[in-house]
């Protein structure tokens, strides 16, 4: 099993550009999450999903969108990138939501 796979690992965007961060898991987990981590800070939840077709906002959803058309994939869309979205993004998953999180390796995004 590959676990949770995130792409790309690094990306530089110009202000106003858009992009999609990809996340895929091969563990058949129902719950998937997107977090962002700013330097010296903990993880802040952007969006989460409890199953295919079901998504919900987390603590910091503004400027982002998600979809969950399959159990495996949970892409995060950034529209009109802003410098405030410069961060490290982690995708995570777990089977039932009450268990440990399995994290991807992260995407370091800079918006200049």
Partner 1 sequence: QKEVEQNSGPLSVPEGAIASLNCTYSDRGSQSFFWYRQYSGKSPELIMFIYSNGDKEDGRFTAQLNKASQYVSLLIRDSQPSDSATYLCAVRPLTGGSYIPTFGRGTSLIVHP
Task: Report the residue from 1, 2, 14, 41 that binds partner 1 according to the rule CB under 8 A.
Answer: 41
x/- track of binding to partner 1 for residues 1-30 (CB under 8 A): ------------------------------
* Two tokens, residue 84: 């405030």
Choices 13-21, 60-68, 71-79, 94-102; region in contact with partner 1 by CB under 8 A? 94-102
Report CA dihedral (68, 66, 60, 63) to the nearest 10 degrees: 180
- Give 7's strand partners: 22
Q: Decide: is 43 part of the binding site for partner 1 (CB under 8 A).
A: yes
Residue 29 φ then ψ, to 5°: -80, 140
As a residue count, the chain comes to 112
Query: Footprint of partner 1 on this chain (CB under 8 A)?
Result: 31, 33, 35, 40-45, 48, 58, 90, 96-98, 100-101, 103-106
């Amino acid at each position: 099993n590959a676990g949770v796979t995130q792409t790309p690992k690094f990306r530089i965007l110009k202000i106003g550009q858009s992009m999609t961060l990809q996340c895929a898991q091969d563990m058949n987990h129902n719950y998937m999450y997107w977090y962002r981590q700013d330097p010296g800070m903990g993880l802040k939840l952007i969006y989460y999903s409890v199953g295919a077709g079901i998504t919900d906002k987390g603590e910091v959803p503004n400027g982002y969108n998600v979809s969950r058309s399959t159990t495996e994939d949970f892409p995060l869309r950034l529209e009109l990138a802003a410098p405030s979205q410069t961060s490290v993004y982690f995708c995570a998953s777990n089977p039932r939501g009450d268990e440990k999180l399995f994290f991807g390796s992260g995407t370091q995004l800079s918006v200049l």
